[in-house]
């Protein structure tokens, strides 16, 4: 621990130079920008490895194991391979849009991490409206994806992009409403304050909110079973069908950077972020991100994909009313002062409420709908 | 406010992840809704029927392997039955049993692939597919023991099979037969009540009984629509009349029924294999047939219940060493005739699974 200045968390905590001081802000900014980029890229490599190996195991095969010990260098090999590929731009493509799309899609994935605390107070900007920032920024990558779909002048890409926009517009709403429960209990919109407020991880106080957010988050970042935007068995590769080489690598990066970002947000909001015994806080944070990501890999290997109309029905007929109910119930509990006083009672009550609501709603009010259209 | 929309044409295939090879469809879409499709064949045309006219009767067998390349044994059997009918050759008892065991194992393997690929089309990212491949691998191992090949077996001959089963075959088969029912139960647990699979496949792509008959559809697709028609019982060939097995049927004829139908048929195939294993006699595996078969002038048609439906071979002989004409009735091609009516009005995602549930092999469509 005493390796002085090179130790990340000590540096991060280094408040000797106050952020208010002119030079202090820029030092802080530079340091965290570097940390975030390094963190995201490393995590992306890590989760790609976890996904490929985990999926291999779940599909009764080995997964990549030739590159380096246990195949650990597979993400590097992937990256090198994809960078050496030729960059093909379709003749009919809108060149500027086609070129700009990966950049616009990638930037928000990095920007999300600005407000996510790696440790108590260790974050780029402790915005007092951190969650609003997260919601706002995470929708920006849709623009990049739609640009990719439109600019490629490919019908598969366009269909994928249109599905993506439709899905994200719908899933933003239950996502925001699911967060409201957390905000009500924590009493703050700042992500750092939310973590500080989690004496009990909010997944216990907000089990329904967690499920809703997880589902909506999966849809937001195109993870199975909501991966209609790049549905490989229908649309070949969806919006990035016409991308190759470095630009494809960017989209690949976006996909996993967003998965890491959503996992980090879920870890922060529901799993207590950097909080945890014994291990250093940043390590807890990483462990929780990987846990959430593993759940996503698990669903991906387990579930078939749903159809576009079912996707919409699921958002509007299931997630939306459920998140409203969740918000209402949480508000009542907060009014009654439960979160601070009767924590264990509240945990039991909320888990029971979740089970009953999900069962009743899925049984009596909601059917994955859609059907044949008369032509 | 009504938004003005207009249909557009999407070219699906020949290179597409879900066209099971190089099948091509020109799909007219109104947004996500399929308005019309126009199948385009011929990307895998190798002229097998014409090639057969220049080969000896034995030399055609490797060509039949390459028709429906995931059920080569059944193709071999259908061709050999036709050639034997033409030449009037009697097949030894043991060879008949070996043929039945092989073609039923082949049915299990092919139906496993059909179910796995169908779920892959549903978007279950390769997991069911690879699970099914785990079991198919054991069947392929068995075939490798008998024939030395793992895909194009070229095992059967006019008048029997190419060689007797090796010693290690029967113990391995017994082991497989012990394991397989448990695996089938496992798949049922994983898939039968899967909420998303039910939502995706129930009621989708319904093929009515009348239309199935009118389009001369055969095999599991026909039986899933509720028609009890199986050539193994309707027109028994080889020694199928000696075995006790049921012909399962379903009622609605939607994608889910076709998936269930395939699973049920797998169980019946296992029943037949078990009986054939018990009754397997000893003796020669090949009739005394001259190296170059010269059937008398005439013609013969033999059909079998292949994993995908009725596979028929029509052979004409002019008393030379090669068939004068060899025509193949491919189940994959004829089962596709109802595709357009089944998919109109459904969404792209449904088009993919309806197409997947028919279960085609392009090698057989194009020949």
Asked whether residue B270 carries a pLDDT value surpassing 60, the answer given is: yes
Residue among A55, A60, A306 minimizing CB distance to B131: A60
Computed over its alpha carbons, how large is the radius of gyration of chain B? 21
Could you write out the DSSP letters of every residue in A360-373?
HIIIII------PP
Instruction: Please report which confidence band the pLDDT of residue A339 belongs to, taking 50, 70 and 90 as the band edges.
Output: low
- The span from the first CA to the last CA of chain B, in angstroms, equals 51
Best CA proximity match to B87, nearest among B327, B328, B297: B297
**How confident is the model over B98-124, as a mean pLDDT?**
88
Dist CA A65 CA A62 (whole Å): 7
Smallest Cβ–Cβ distance between A155 and the set B8, B134, B197 belongs to B8
For the stretch A168-182, pLDDT in tens is 888 888 888 888 888
Mean of pLDDT over chain B: 87
Q: How many Å lie between the alpha carbon of A223 and the closest alpha carbon of chain B?
A: 11
Residues near B23 by Cβ (< 8 Å), separated by ≥ 6?
B13, B14, B39, B41, B43, B360, B362, B365
CB B349 within 8 A of CB A311: no
- E strand or H helix that includes residue A168: helix A155-186
Please enumerate residues of B whose Cβ is less than 8 A from a Cβ of A: 8, 10, 16-18, 32-33, 35, 119-127, 130-131, 134, 194-197, 199-200, 203, 344-350, 352
- Residue B34 backbone zone (phi > 0: left; psi -120 to 50: alpha; other: beta): beta
Which ranges in B242-311 belong to alpha helices (H)?
255-279
pLDDT at B108 over 60: yes
SS3 string, A217-260, reads HHHHCCCCCCCHHHCHHHHCCHHHCCCCHHHHHHHHHHHHHHHH
**Residue A7 pLDDT > 60:** no
- What pLDDT, in 10s, does the model give residues A60-73? 888 888 887 888 88
> What residue segments make up the domains of chain A, in order of their start?
4-367
Does residue A233 or residue A115 have the better pLDDT?
A: A115
Q: How confident is the model at residue B15 (pLDDT cuts 50, 70, 90)?
A: confident
Contact yes or no for B10 and A227 at CB 8 A: no
The arithmetic mean of pLDDT across residues A306-311, rounded, is: 83
B173-204 residue pLDDT tens: 999 988 888 888 888 888 888 888 888 888 88
Q: Which residues of A touch B17 (CB under 8 A)?
A: 232-233, 236
Average pLDDT on B70-83 reads: 89
Distance CA B103, CA B73 (A): 6
Interchain pair A301, B196: CB under 8 A: no
For B322-362, the pLDDT digits (tens) are 889 889 998 988 988 888 888 888 888 888 888 888 888 88
**Is residue A307 classed as helix, strand or coil in its secondary structure?**
coil
Test B199 with A310 for CB contact under 8 angstroms: yes
How far does A209 lie from chain B, in Å, by closest CA? 22
For chains A and B, count residue pairs whose Cβ atoms are closer than 8 Å: 95
The pLDDT of residue A35 is above 80 = yes
- B344: which chain A residues are within 8 Å (Cβ-Cβ)? 375
Residue A366 has pLDDT above 80, yes or no: no
pLDDT in tens, B279-305: 888 888 888 888 888 888 989 999 998
Strand order in the sheet with B309-317: B298-306, B309-317, B325-329
Percent of chain B with pLDDT over 70: 100
> Helix, strand, or coil here: B109?
helix
Parallel, antiparallel, or unpaired: how do β-strands B325-329 and B309-317 relate? antiparallel
Backbone CA torsion sign across B61, B66, B68, B69: positive
Higher pLDDT, B277 or A9: B277
**Segments making up each domain of chain B, as ranges:** 57-321
Where does the pLDDT of residue A20 fall: very low under 50, low under 70, confident under 90, or very high at 90 and above?
low
- Is there a contact between B123 and A224 if contact means CB atoms under 8 Å apart? yes
Residue of B nearest to A366 (CA): B199
Q: Is there a contact between A374 and B345 if contact means CB atoms under 8 Å apart? A: yes
pLDDT at B314: 92
Alpha-carbon distance of B89 to B93, in angstroms, equals 13
Q: How many CB atoms lie within 10 A of CB A113?
A: 26
Query: How far, in Å, CA of A255 to CA of A240, rounded?
Result: 11
Of B8, B125, B349, the CB nearest to A307: B349
* B118 contacts in chain A (CB < 8 Å): none
Q: Are B333 and B306 in contact (CB under 8 A)?
A: no
Nearest-5° Cα angle at B304, B299 to B308: 130
Determine the average pLDDT of the residues in A318-328. Answer: 88
φ, ψ of residue B24 in degrees (nearest 5):
-130, 140
Beta-strand pair B160-161/B298-306: unpaired
Strand bridging mode B298-306 / B309-317: antiparallel
Residue B316's Cβ-side half-sphere holds a number of Cα atoms within 13 Å equal to 7
Q: Which residue of A has its CA nearest to B32?
A: A159
- pLDDT for the residue numbered A11: 46
Distance (Å, whole) CA A341 – CA B105? 66
B120 vs A contacts (CB less than 8 Å): 233
Q: What is the mean pLDDT of residues A192-220?
A: 84
Do residues A328 and B153 touch, judged by C-beta distance below 8 A?
Answer: no
Chain A residues lying within 8 Å of B196, measured CB to CB: 225, 303-306, 368
Nearest 5°: CA angle at A237, between A235 and A243?
130
Query: CA of A289 to nearest chain B CA: how many angstroms apart?
Result: 23
Smallest Cα distance from A325 to chain B, Å: 24
- CA-nearest of A139, A83, A88, A87 to A111 is A139
* pLDDT for A132 beyond 60: yes
Q: Nearest Cβ partner of A59 from B10, B126, B348?
A: B126
Residue A281: the pLDDT is 79
Q: Do A304 and B134 touch (CB under 8 A)?
A: no
CB contact under 8 A, A372 and B345: yes
The alpha-carbon gap from B196 to the nearest alpha carbon of chain A, in Å, equals: 6
Q: Which residue of B has its CA nearest to A310?
A: B199
Sort strands B33-40 and B156-157 into parallel, antiparallel or unpaired: unpaired
Contact criterion met (CB below 8 Å) for A47 and A261? no
d(CA A226, CA A218): 7
Share of chain A above pLDDT 70, in %: 89
Please tell me which residue of chain A has the smallest CA distance to B202: A371
Top mean pLDDT of A77-91, A233-247, B217-231 is at B217-231
Nearest to B35 among A155, A309, A375 (CB): A375
Quick one: tokens of A254?
A: 């976006």
Q: What is the pLDDT of residue A5?
A: 41
pLDDT tops 60 at residue A88:
yes
What is the spatial distance between Cα B230 and Cα B250, in angstroms, rounded to a whole number? 14
Sheet holding B33-40, edge to edge: B8-12, B24-30, B33-40
For helices A130-151 and A155-186, give the axis angle rounded to 10 degrees. 180
Please compute the mean of the pLDDT values over residues A103-121 and round it to a whole number: 83
**Distance from the A312 Cα atom to the nearest Cα atom in chain B, whole angstroms:** 13
* Model pLDDT for residues B16-30, shown as the tens digit of each residue: 877 777 888 888 888
- Mean pLDDT score across all residues of chain A: 81
Question: Residue B33 and residue B346: Cα distance in Å, rounded?
Answer: 6
- Provide mean pLDDT across the span B306-322: 89
Query: Which of 1.10.287.70, 3.60.40.10, 3.90.1150.10, 1.10.645.10 is the CATH number of B57-321?
Result: 1.10.645.10
Burial A321-340 (b: 16+ CB within 10 A, else e): bbbeebbebbeebeeeebbe
Helical ranges in chain B per DSSP H: 48-52, 61-65, 72-87, 93-122, 127-147, 169-191, 195-201, 209-214, 220-224, 231-234, 255-279, 331-335, 339-343, 348-358, 362-366
Mean pLDDT over A320-338 rounds to: 85
Q: Which helix (H) or strand (E) holds A144?
A: helix A130-151
Say yes or no to pLDDT of A3 above 50.
no
Whose CA is closest to B137, among B183, B171, B170?
B183
Q: Considering only CA atoms, which of B318, B297, B366, B309 is closest in space to residue B78?
A: B309
- Which of B123, B130, B347 is most worth mutating to test chain A (most A CB atoms within 10 A of its CB)? B123
Distance, CA of A10 to CA of A4 (rounded, Å): 8
């Amino acid at each position: 621990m005493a390796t002085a200045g090179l130790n990340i968390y000590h540096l991060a905590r280094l408040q000797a130079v106050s952020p208010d001081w002119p030079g202090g802000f820029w030092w802080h900014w530079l340091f965290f920008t570097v940390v975030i980029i390094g963190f995201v890229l490393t995590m992306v490599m890590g989760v790609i490895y976890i996904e490929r190996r985990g999926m291999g195991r779940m599909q009764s095969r080995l997964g990549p194991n030739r590159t380096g010990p246990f195949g650990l260098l597979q993400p590097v090999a992937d990256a090198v391979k994809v960078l050496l590929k030729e960059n093909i731009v379709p003749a009919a493509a809108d060149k500027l849009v086609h070129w700009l799309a990966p950049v616009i899609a990638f930037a928000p994935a990095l920007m999300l991490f600005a407000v996510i605390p790696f440790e108590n107070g260790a974050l780029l900007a402790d915005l007092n409206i951190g969650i609003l920032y997260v919601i706002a920024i995470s929708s920006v990558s849709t623009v990049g994806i739609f640009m990719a779909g439109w600019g490629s002048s490919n019908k598969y890409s366009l269909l994928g992009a249109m599905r993506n926009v439709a899905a994200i517009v719908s899933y933003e709403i239950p996502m925001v409403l699911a967060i409201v429960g957390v905000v009500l209990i924590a009493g703050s919109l700042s992500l750092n304050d939310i973590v500080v407020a989690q004496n009990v991880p909010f997944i216990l106080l907000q089990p329904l909110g967690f499920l809703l957010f997880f589902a909506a988050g999966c849809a937001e970042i195109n993870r199975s079973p909501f991966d209609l935007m790049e549905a490989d068995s229908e649309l070949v590769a969806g919006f990035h069908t016409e991308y190759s080489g470095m630009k494809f690598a960017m989209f690949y990066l976006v996909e996993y950077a967003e998965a890491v970002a959503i996992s980090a947000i879920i870890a922060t909001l529901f799993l207590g972020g950097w909080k945890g015994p014994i291990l250093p806080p940043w390590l807890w944070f990483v462990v929780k991100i990987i846990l959430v990501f593993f759940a996503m890999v698990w669903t991906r290997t387990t579930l078939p994909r749903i159809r576009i109309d079912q996707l919409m029905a699921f958002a509007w007929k299931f997630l939306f009313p459920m998140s409203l109910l969740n918000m209402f119930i949480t508000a009542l509990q907060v009014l009654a002062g439960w979160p601070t006083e009767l924590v264990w009672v509240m945990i039991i009550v909320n888990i029971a409420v979740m089970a009953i609501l999900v069962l009743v709603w899925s049984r009596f009010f909601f059917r994955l709908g859609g059907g044949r259209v008369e032509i | 406010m009504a938004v003005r929309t207009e249909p557009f044409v999407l070219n699906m295939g020949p290179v597409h992840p879900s066209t099971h090879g190089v099948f091509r469809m020109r799909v007219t879409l109104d947004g996500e809704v399929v308005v019309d499709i126009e199948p385009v064949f011929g990307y895998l045309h190798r002229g097998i029927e014409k090639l057969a006219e220049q080969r000896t009767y034995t030399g055609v067998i490797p060509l039949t392997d390459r028709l429906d390349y995931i059920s080569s044994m059944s193709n071999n059997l259908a061709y050999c039955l036709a050639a034997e009918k033409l030449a009037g050759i009697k097949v030894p008892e043991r060879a008949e049993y070996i043929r039945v065991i092989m073609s039923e194992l082949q049915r299990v393997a092919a139906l496993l692939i059909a179910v796995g690929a169908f779920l892959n089309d549903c978007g279950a990212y390769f997991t069911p597919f690879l699970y099914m491949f785990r079991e198919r691998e054991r069947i392929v191992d068995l075939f490798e023991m008998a024939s030395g090949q793992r895909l194009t077996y070229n095992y059967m001959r006019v008048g029997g099979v190419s060689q007797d089963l090796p010693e290690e075959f029967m113990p391995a088969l017994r082991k497989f037969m012990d394991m397989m029912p448990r695996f089938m139960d496992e798949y049922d647990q994983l898939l039968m009540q899967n909420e998303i699979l039910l939502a995706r496949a129930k009621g989708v792509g319904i093929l009515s009984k009348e239309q199935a008959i009118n389009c001369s559809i055969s095999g599991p697709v026909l039986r899933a629509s509720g028609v009890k028609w199986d050539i193994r019982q309707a027109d028994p060939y080889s020694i199928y009349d000696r075995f006790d097995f049921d012909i399962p049927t379903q009622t609605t004829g939607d994608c889910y029924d076709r998936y269930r139908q395939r699973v049920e048929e797998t169980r019946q195939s296992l029943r037949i294999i078990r009986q054939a294993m018990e009754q397997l006699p000893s003796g020669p595996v090949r009739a005394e047939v001259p190296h170059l078969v010269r059937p008398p002038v005439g013609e013969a048609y033999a059909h079998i219940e292949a994993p995908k439906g009725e596979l028929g071979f029509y052979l004409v002989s002019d008393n030379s060493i090669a068939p004068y004409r060899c025509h193949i009735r491919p189940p994959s091609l004829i089962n596709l005739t109802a595709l357009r009516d089944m998919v109109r009005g459904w969404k792209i995602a449904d088009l993919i699974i309806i197409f997947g549930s028919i279960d085609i092999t392009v090698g057989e469509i194009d020949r």
